[in-house]
């Protein structure tokens, strides 16, 4: 069985913590591990698992690789989508790739950003689903509902399959769109409706056969995108033209709703898609007043609230049912009843061209990260951290000069036609237009303060000559 982890989401409803260049699947929302890492870790103990396959946006490829490296559990296959085309094309490419490395394996399709509390119950549901998947069924996992939720699609459970290999597996009678409140309550009262989790299990060949019947254009695009794919370091870069030519469609619309082989296994394991700040509050541990908090938080006469402090002390007095999220460059304060309005805030920020939609003040790169500490009309100060053995590209700038001061570790610097070491408490100046590079030859992280000065300080003022990470 090959876990297929879908990691293409943007997670805008968890702004300002989740942003386009580092969405929620890469954030430690529940514990000290990211949502992606927790997705991988909860697979431990399942028999017969091969290394996972991850499908992600190419902008996130180094974060995926780094988070797997931190887990020290082997190297996954990482497929890079040049553009998001929803779940059906992504799973099609994964199934085709799986057939290249194994003889018709079972695929366990998971989202990278879900939370599951009861791991044994999760494993039990997988064990129940496996015989049906091996017998040629398309298995989906229906979540036992805890409320008349209007933010989820629903699955109507049909008759039990009543055969020796499919114990506790039921036919899917219908998939239902996200309902209004009254319809959702009717579903709950009926007792045979389950939340659609977006998790699946099936043989690679089964899915591709069904896809060829119901959505042959998606299958054709996936085959072409993989056939023309190129290896890029540890990644498989899908062909841009072929993949973007695919219709954008979910697995539900493209296959599951049309197939006679769709079946369901129920899952009651404390599942959440963590789709909003309110849903995150619901699954977190709380104090006696119903408050959930992370970071340096001090509360007085508050109840049923979620407070997240990233960088500084956050104090809240006399408020109930609120969400407060503080980051280095943005603060969100909202009533829980109106938390869906976050998407409207994100839309406004996009229309204003604000960088806070895409980037945190702390930006991650394949070589490490930088934190934009402060800036002005003609200057910017960054705190740069370079991982051991990593190197920034050989580059130059047309509009800015840079001054580097090493505060930890040792830097190997190319400055024009000279190459030399810069140690702690030493510095070097890079004049405008000078070809330069920065490398960490040591065993510990290299930290330096960079002061930029010039008429234009944008990240696009970079002319690259060499780059070990294949960036243009």
Residues 332 and 412 in one domain: no
Please state, rounded to an integer, the average pLDDT across all residues of the chain.
95
Distance CA(153)–CA(320), nearest Å, equals 30
From 319, 346, 373, the end of a domain falls on: 346
> At 71, is the pLDDT very low, low, confident or very high (cuts 50, 70, 90)?
very high
**With 70 as the cut, is the pLDDT of residue 86 above it?**
yes
Mean pLDDT of 130-147: 95
From 249, 272, 295, the end of a domain falls on: 272
From 272, 300, 334, the end of a domain falls on: 272
Does residue 471 sit within a domain?
no
Residues 244 and 336 in one domain: no
Residues 316 and 381 in one domain: no
> At 162, is the pLDDT very low, low, confident or very high (cuts 50, 70, 90)?
low
Q: Tens digit of pLDDT for each residue in 174-187?
A: 999 999 999 999 99
Mean pLDDT of 140-169: 87
Q: Tens digit of pLDDT for each residue in 293-345?
A: 999 999 999 999 999 999 999 999 999 999 999 999 999 999 999 999 999 99
Phi and psi angles of residue 389, each rounded to the nearest 5 degrees, phi first: 80, -5
Does residue 352 sit within a domain?
no
Q: Find the DSSP H helices in 109-215.
A: 119-134, 181-190, 204-214
Residues 17 and 108 in one domain: yes
Does residue 354 sit within a domain?
no
> At 168, is the pLDDT very low, low, confident or very high (cuts 50, 70, 90)?
confident
**With 90 as the cut, is the pLDDT of residue 470 above it?**
no
Instruction: Answer yes or no: are the C-beta atoms of 393 and 366 closer than 8 Å.
Output: no
Distance CA(21)–CA(359), nearest Å, equals 6
Structural domain count of the chain: 3
Residue whose entry in the numeric block shows the structure tokens 């930006």: 363
Residues 27 and 155 in one domain: yes
**With 80 as the cut, is the pLDDT of residue 163 above it?**
no
**With 60 as the cut, is the pLDDT of residue 398 above it?**
yes
Q: Is the dihedral of CA 161, 165, 168, 172 positive or negative?
A: negative
| CATH code: domain of residue 368 | 2.60.120.10
| CATH code: domain of residue 71 | 3.90.550.10
Distance CA(90)–CA(110), nearest Å, equals 12
What is the model's pLDDT at position 232? 85
Instruction: Answer yes or no: are the C-beta atoms of 10 and 88 closer than 8 Å.
Output: no
> At 238, is the pLDDT very low, low, confident or very high (cuts 50, 70, 90)?
very high
Q: Classify 104 as helix, strand or coil.
A: coil
DSSP-derived letter for residue 289 is T
Mean pLDDT of 116-144: 96
Residues 310 and 204 in one domain: no
What is the model's pLDDT at position 472? 73
Q: Is the peptide bond before 73 cis (omega within 30 degrees of 0)?
A: no
What is the model's pLDDT at position 258? 96
Instruction: Answer yes or no: are the C-beta atoms of 112 and 78 closer than 8 Å.
Output: no
Residues 22 and 57 in one domain: yes
Structural domain span for residue 368: 362-466
Per DSSP bridges, beta strands 53-57 and 77-81 are: parallel
Distance CA(432)–CA(403), nearest Å, equals 11
Residues 327 and 427 in one domain: no
Residue 73: Cβ within 10 Å count: 15
Mean pLDDT of 216-238: 95
Q: Would you state the structure tokens that stand for residue 346, as one six-digit string?
A: 């994100």
Q: Tens digit of pLDDT for each residue in 369-385?
A: 999 999 999 999 999 99
Q: Could you tell me which of 430, 425, 466, 432 has the C-alpha nearest to residue 447?
A: 425
Distance CA(306)–CA(274), nearest Å, equals 14
Does residue 472 sit within a domain?
no
Mean pLDDT of 188-217: 97
> At 81, is the pLDDT very low, low, confident or very high (cuts 50, 70, 90)?
very high
**With 80 as the cut, is the pLDDT of residue 59 above it?**
yes
Mean pLDDT of 411-438: 97
Q: Tens digit of pLDDT for each residue in 349-359?
A: 999 999 999 98
Residues 317 and 264 in one domain: no
> At 166, is the pLDDT very low, low, confident or very high (cuts 50, 70, 90)?
low
Distance CA(74)–CA(287), nearest Å, equals 38
pTM more than 0.75:
yes
Mean pLDDT of 457-462: 92
What is the model's pLDDT at position 161? 84
CA angle at 439 for the pair 32 and 55, rounded to the nearest 5°: 45
Burial of 82 (C-beta count, 10 Å sphere; 0-12/13-18/19+):
middle
Residues 159 and 292 in one domain: no
**With 60 as the cut, is the pLDDT of residue 164 above it?**
no
What angle, rounded to 10 degrees, do the helices at 87-101 and 216-227 form? 50
Distance CA(55)–CA(113), nearest Å, equals 13
Residues 148 and 18 in one domain: yes
C-alpha torsion 45→46→51→57, nearest 10 = -100
What is the model's pLDDT at position 246? 97
Instruction: Answer yes or no: are the C-beta atoms of 415 and 453 closer than 8 Å.
Output: no
Residues 135 and 226 in one domain: yes
Does residue 356 sit within a domain?
no
Q: Would you state the structure tokens that stand for residue 220, as one six-digit string?
A: 């054709």
398 φ/ψ sector (left φ>0, alpha ψ -120 to 50, else beta): alpha
Does residue 127 sit within a domain?
yes
Does residue 225 sit within a domain?
yes
Does residue 258 sit within a domain?
yes
Mean pLDDT of 74-93: 95
């Amino acid at each position: 069985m090959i876990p297929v982890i879908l990691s293409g989401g943007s997670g805008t409803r968890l702004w300002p913590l989740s942003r386009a260049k580092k969405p929620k699947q890469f954030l430690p929302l529940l514990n000290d591990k990211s949502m992606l890492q927790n997705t991988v870790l909860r697979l431990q103990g399942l028999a017969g698992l091969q290394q996972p396959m991850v499908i992600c946006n190419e902008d996130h490829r180094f974060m995926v690789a780094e988070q797997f490296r931190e887990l020290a559990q082997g190297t996954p296959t990482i497929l890079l989508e040049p553009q998001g085309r929803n779940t059906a094309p992504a799973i099609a490419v994964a199934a085709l790739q799986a057939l290249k490395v194994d003889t018709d394996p079972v695929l366990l399709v998971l989202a990278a950003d879900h939370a599951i509390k009861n791991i044994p119950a999760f494993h039990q549901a997988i064990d129940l689903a496996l015989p049906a998947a091996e017998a040629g069924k398309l298995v989906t996992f229906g979540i036992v509902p805890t409320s008349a939720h209007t933010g989820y699609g629903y699955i109507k459970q049909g008759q039990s399959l009543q055969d020796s290999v499919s114990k506790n597996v039921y036919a899917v009678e219908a998939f239902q769109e996200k309902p209004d409140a009254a319809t959702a309550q009717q579903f709950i009262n009926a007792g045979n409706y389950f939340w659609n989790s977006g998790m699946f299990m099936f043989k690679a060949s089964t899915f591709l056969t069904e896809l060829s019947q119901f959505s042959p254009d998606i299958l054709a695009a996936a085959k072409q995108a993989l056939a023309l794919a190129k290896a890029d370091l540890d990644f498989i870069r899908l062909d841009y033209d072929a993949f973007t030519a695919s219709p954008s469609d979910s697995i539900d619309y493209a296959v599951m709703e049309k197939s006679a082989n769709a079946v369901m296994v129920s899952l009651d394991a404390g599942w959440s898609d963590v789709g909003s700040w309110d849903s995150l509050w619901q699954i977190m541990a709380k104090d006696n007043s119903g408050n959930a908090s992370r970071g340096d938080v001090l509360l007085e006469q508050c109840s049923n609230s979620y407070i997240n402090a990233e960088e500084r002390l956050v104090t809240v007095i006399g408020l109930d049912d609120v969400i407060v999220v503080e980051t280095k460059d943005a603060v969100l304060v909202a009533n829980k009843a109106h938390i869906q309005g976050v998407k409207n805030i994100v839309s406004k920020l996009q229309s204003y061209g604000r960088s806070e939609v895409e980037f945190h003040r702390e930006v991650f790169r394949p070589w490490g990260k930088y934190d934009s500490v402060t800036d002005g009309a003609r200057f910017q100060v960054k705190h740069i951290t370079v991982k051991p053995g990593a190197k920034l590209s050989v580059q130059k700038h047309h509009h800015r000069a840079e001054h580097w001061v090493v505060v930890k570790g040792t830097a190997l610097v190319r400055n024009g036609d000279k190459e030399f070491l810069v140690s702690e408490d030493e510095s070097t100046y890079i004049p405008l237009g000078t070809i330069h590079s920065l490398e960490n030859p040591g065993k510990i992280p290299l930290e330096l303060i960079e002061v930029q000065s010039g008429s234009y300080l944008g990240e696009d003022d970079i002319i690259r000559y060499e780059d070990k990470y294949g960036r243009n």
